[in-house]
Chains A and B, each alone.
Chain A
Amino acid sequence: MSPMARTAPVPAATDPAIIRNFCIIAHIDHGKSTLADRMLQYTGVVSKRDMKAQYLDRMDIERERGITIKSQAVRMPWELDGNSYALNMIDTPGHVDFTYEVSRSLAACEGAVLLVDAAQGIEAQTLANLYLAMENNLTIIPVLNKIDLPAAQPEKYAAELANLIGGDPEDVLKVSGKTGVGVEALLDKIVRDLPAPVGDPNAPARAMIFDSVYDTYRGVVTYVRVVDGMLHPRERIQMMSTRATHELLEIGVSSPEPTPSKGLGVGEVGYLITGVKDVRQSKVGDTVTNLAKPASESLSGYADAKPMVFSGLYPLDGTDYPVLRDALEKLMLNDAALVYEPETSAALGFGFRVGFLGLLHLEITRERLEREYNLDLISTAPNVEYEVTLEDKKVIHVTNPSEYPTGKISEVREPMVSATILAPNEFVGSIMELCQSRRGQMRGMDYLSEDRVELRYWIPLAEIVFDFFDLLKSKTRGYASLDWKADGEQVADLVKVDILLQGEQVDAFSAITHRDKAYAYGVMMTGKLRELIPRQQFEVPIQAAIGSRIIARESIRAIRKDVLAKCYGGDITRKRKLLEKQKEGKKRMKMVGRVEVPQEAFIAALTTDESKDKAKK
């Protein structure tokens, strides 16, 4: 066992040969944060006393959900065979929506710890990230975590991992982040097995941004991995994609608190502060160079974050609109992937159409808005971006069903994704059934181990953004995991289904669906609304229509009696208070034509059953 390093290598003066850059690839709740905490403790950068559980995850939501949204990099000293090393642990976001960020984090490393729960085996997102790491030629260290659990099956899953990455099951390390067993051996193995970074110290500086975080006090904190040359404090730097220049106010390493240094050299990982206030000025994937001695070529792999899923966000209380606007502005500072524009809905009032990387990104953003800004929000059903070509060849991009053109359409293209699903083989049938019903095309199937299967589908993104994951989970008793990445587009026979209340179209309930699904959507939505909208003083027909063609119809019978029958002297105060309450309630109603629709009905109609359950908790 190696001891804690007696002398830690000094930033800006560290030989690349003693640097090891690695990340941990793991599924949510497979124990990445606990293991990371344990490493911080064993390397001495955080004392046991200061140890907050899951030190690296900053935000409350992250801590509560046990997931890491924003990564950070921590420099840790470690000693092996009498030599001191500098280990940079680059924390990666653990969710499907943040694939691009993951890819950049991986690109900053030479190796990855593949961390898998010894009781659960590998999950789809982990597998996807593993493939990403292997594509980046990272050295993989397979590790089974939670070996202290009674349900752990280390032999079985060691074989699974060995099968995936090639190698001997014997080489799979077995650790417990909780008890600390095997963690020191893992640190040793990182030093031994991972290659040292390679770069040209004399070339113009090139550093890749792998994360960018907004801090209220310091502005944007940019995390970089230096590839060539060296960056120093006070010098002017340039972002190679935007050509924007900044003064380097501070440069340093996290250990895990920010510690300023004299610079960062080849292979080193650390942070930069330039005083900018918006993460968009410091984009993940971009290359930082020295303005005075700029590099001629930027590092490869840069891409702009592209929103994939769109939803309308509306304040329940219309007067909260300015609060929502300010809140989105603030969130944007820290979220380069978030895009939004104002939108008006006849039914919901003023709000914003917001673009997200995926569903989790949507959920987290919404939750942050509600929690940190004390907002009550309605979010409309998530949509993807359609490319609609009209007969006059005009092309329109539609992210909101109410913008779907009514004129002659010659072609509609929808975004497609490659989806990977991992599940025990007993569920293969029901997964195939589900994917087929969602217009998925099977692209392959492999056995990861005797009883676990990887299924690959090419499937419309629109089919997986609403309730697919919930259904997948319920059809597989929670065992299946899903990962997807954008993968082209296809021409599809899509239609817009409108919902009409008493002949008035309710924009919030319109949906773009495949023609074969239109009827089912119409029946589902009209049925749901019939349950949710209270009876009015007149009959309310609810119709689903494609253009002018009615495809489904329900009706809410008129209320016939709404009168408190007795009204003696002692009932008057009570009756008046009831009336006042009803008047108050009416204010919370949205009027659709003459129909009073409670906001709860909008929320319930736009929510899947799964998220309703969540709301109850």
Chain B
Amino acid sequence: MPSVLPLGDPAPADGILPPQVLAGVEHRKFGLYVHIPFCAVRCGYCDFNTYTATELGGGASQDAYAATAVTELDFASLALDASGLPRRPLSTVFFGGGTPTLLPAEDLAGILKAAIGHWGLEPGAEVSTEANPDSVTPESLKILADAGFTRVSFGMQSAVPHVLKVLDRTHTPSRVPLVVQWAREAGLAVSLDLIYGTPGESMADWQLSLETALSYQPDHISAYALIVEDGTKLAAQIRRGEVPGIDDDDHASKYELADRLISEAGLNWYEVSNWSRTPDQACRHNLAYWRGDDWWGIGPGAHSHVGGVRWWNVKHPTAYASRLGNASSPAAGRETLDAETREVERIMLEARLGTGLSVDALGAIGRHAMAGLIADQLVDPVQAFKGRLVLTLKGRLLADAVVRRILPD
């Protein structure tokens, strides 16, 4: 999650949600996001809310973190109950960071266990964790699988050493096939995360990364364009001219290459930046974000969404731990979306999906825009004929522009 929190309304200390969240709850799945705010090294491009092990103490320390997270799970359970929401089994759980695997596997397992204790798991629930190739072992992966994890997403980023160096990634590329094999042996589905468009990365570098990743036959690939966020070390390096800047055209070419190679390897796009081998292997947790389901985000800076109410926790782990220590909500702010805003979000998010949007559900402006979008080759004409707005390859690269064209003024 980005380091800068949005501006919102104050969030109540008891975390109780307004009655509007009850409407339609039976149609919404419930998920859990657990943020692990630690990294061995802070990457130069990363603006996520994360800290190196030595930066924090008290309830915010790496050792105490699992216990603090469990405190928020308890708080969440109470607040959801008190808001009148039914207890729904967890459909998906996702551990992200930071580097979740910097915590002992037992800690992650313990947090998951506590969550299951409150809500239980749906049959076939998806439980993922992000992992750095450096910070897993066959044993740790086994512990996770035994605790109920079903899926691991490795931050491979690139197969090219000079690219990894610009990204400040510490792992050696040769470790990736090893960890993929260990995860498979533990019974976990495997996703690889890649980043393209890093300063200094050539088209050949990117092709090598893609081919290498695909040679490990992952079930899922996420490929994200590097975004240089303000305030990061990389942004400063670019500003000082130490590394070259970002070029959108280069990003576009690399995205096109990624889509071609990944598709040829038998995976299909289901969201702008995500491909899976089968529809079942899509990341259901992320799909829940894009489909407006409910989730509670545990951890400093974590965002939550329940029935059109979004909130986000205080950013700093120490402040976060201290709030929970006082039995108070760690939320820094919240926003209650009106029907119109929820519709804007729905269009904005669903437009990115392979399943697209229903054209009939668009407003007059959106429906009117379809012809132009087809003419500009941004929308698939065959799908449009069937009543769905599904982006073409060109359209995926211009998804934001498409969304602007279909939204009411």
* Chain A residues within CB distance 8 Å of chain B: 537-538, 559-577, 579-580, 582-583, 586-587
Contact = CB atoms under 8 A, between A and B. Distances in A.
Contacts of A565: 224-225, 227, 272-273
A587 B2 CA distance: 28
Nearest to A570: B1
Nearest to B249: A560
A566 B1 CA distance: 10
A565 B197 CA distance: 12
Among A564, A565, A576, A583: residue with most chain B CB under 10 A:
A565
Interface stretch (B208-216, B300-308, B324-332, B355-363): B300-308
Given A538-B376, A560-B249, A561-B252, A569 B305 contact: yes
Given A561-B249, A561-B251, A567-B290, 10 more contacts: A561-B225, A561-B398, A562-B248, A562-B400, A565-B225, A566-B224, A569-B304, A571-B1, A579-B404, A586-B404
Contacts of A537: 376, 378, 398, 401
5 contacts: A563-B400, A564-B400, A568-B286, A574-B6, A583-B407
Interface stretch (B70-78, B121-129, B230-238, B344-352): B344-352
A561 B273 contact: no
B1 A569 contact: yes
Contacts of B376: 537-538
Given A559-B248, A562-B398, A563-B399, A568 B225 contact: no
A502 to B, nearest CB: 13
B400 A582 contact: yes
B38 interface: no
B303 A560 contact: no
B390 interface: no
A586 B401 CA distance: 11
A538 B310 CA distance: 36
B295 interface: yes
Contacts of A586: 404, 409
A576 B252 contact: no
A569 B295 contact: yes
A576 B348 contact: yes
A5 B290 CA distance: 89
Given A561-B248, A562-B401, A564-B227, A570 B302 contact: yes
B403 interface: yes
B90 to A, nearest CB: 15
B353 to A, nearest CB: 11
Contacts of B302: 570
Contacts of A574: 2, 4, 6
Nearest to A566: B224
Contacts of A580: 344
B297 interface: yes
Contacts of B303: 569-570, 572-573
B398 A559 contact: yes
Contacts of A572: 289, 303, 305, 310, 345, 349
A8 to B, nearest CB: 68
Pairs of residues from A and B, 5 with the lowest C-beta to C-beta distance, nearest first? A570-B1, A560-B252, A570-B303, A561-B252, A565-B225
Contact of A560 (B248, B290, B348): B248
A563 B272 contact: yes
A410 B190 CA distance: 79
B249 A579 contact: no
Contacts of A560: 248-249, 252-253, 394, 397-398
A579 B297 contact: no
Nearest to B378: A537
B342 to A, nearest CB: 10
A559 B348 CA distance: 20
Interface of B: 1-2, 4, 6, 8, 33, 96, 224-225, 227, 248-249, 251-253, 255, 272-273, 286, 289-290, 295, 297, 301-305, 310, 312, 335, 341, 344-345, 348-349, 352, 376, 378, 394, 396-401, 403-404, 407, 409
A181 B156 CA distance: 83
Contact of A583 (B273, B286, B404): B404
Nearest to A586: B404
B6 A579 contact: no
Nearest to B247: A561
A571 B305 CA distance: 12
Given A568-B286, A576-B345, A561 B297 contact: no
Nearest to B286: A568
Nearest to B35: A570
B407 A579 contact: yes
Nearest to A594: B372
B404 A563 contact: no
Contacts of A573: 6, 8, 303, 310, 312, 335
Contacts of B345: 572, 576
Contacts of A568: 1, 96, 286, 289
A77 to B, nearest CB: 67
Nearest to B195: A565
A559 B402 CA distance: 13
Contact of B341 (A569, A570, A576): A576
B312 A570 contact: yes
Contacts of A561: 225, 248-249, 251-252, 255, 397-398
Contacts of B295: 569
B404 A569 contact: no
B310 A566 contact: no
A577 to B, nearest CB: 7
A568 B224 CA distance: 12
A569 B409 contact: no
Contacts of A579: 344, 348, 400, 403-404, 407
Contacts of B407: 579, 583
B68 to A, nearest CB: 19
Contacts of B348: 575-576, 579
Nearest to A582: B404
Contacts of B225: 561, 565
A569 B345 CA distance: 12
A559 B248 CA distance: 8
A215 B45 CA distance: 63
B301 A570 contact: yes
B297 A570 contact: yes
A565 B8 CA distance: 24
Contacts of A575: 348
Contacts of A571: 1-2
B156 to A, nearest CB: 16
Contacts of B1: 568-571
A566 B227 contact: yes
Contacts of B96: 568
B404 to A, nearest CB: 6
A576 B344 contact: yes
A568 B33 CA distance: 11
B400 A567 contact: no
A578 to B, nearest CB: 8
A562 B224 CA distance: 13
Nearest to B4: A574
B331 to A, nearest CB: 13
A590 to B, nearest CB: 15
A67 to B, nearest CB: 42
Given A576-B348, A579-B407, A563 B33 contact: no
A186 to B, nearest CB: 59
Nearest to B256: A560
A563 B227 CA distance: 11
Residue from A562, A563, A587 whose CB has the most chain B CB atoms within 10 Å: A563
Contacts of B252: 560-561
B8 to A, nearest CB: 8
A206 B322 CA distance: 90
Contacts of A538: 376
Contacts of A582: 400, 404
Contacts of A587: 409
Contacts of B396: 563
Contacts of A583: 404, 407, 409
| Highest count of chain B CB atoms <10 Å: which of A561, A567, A576 | A561
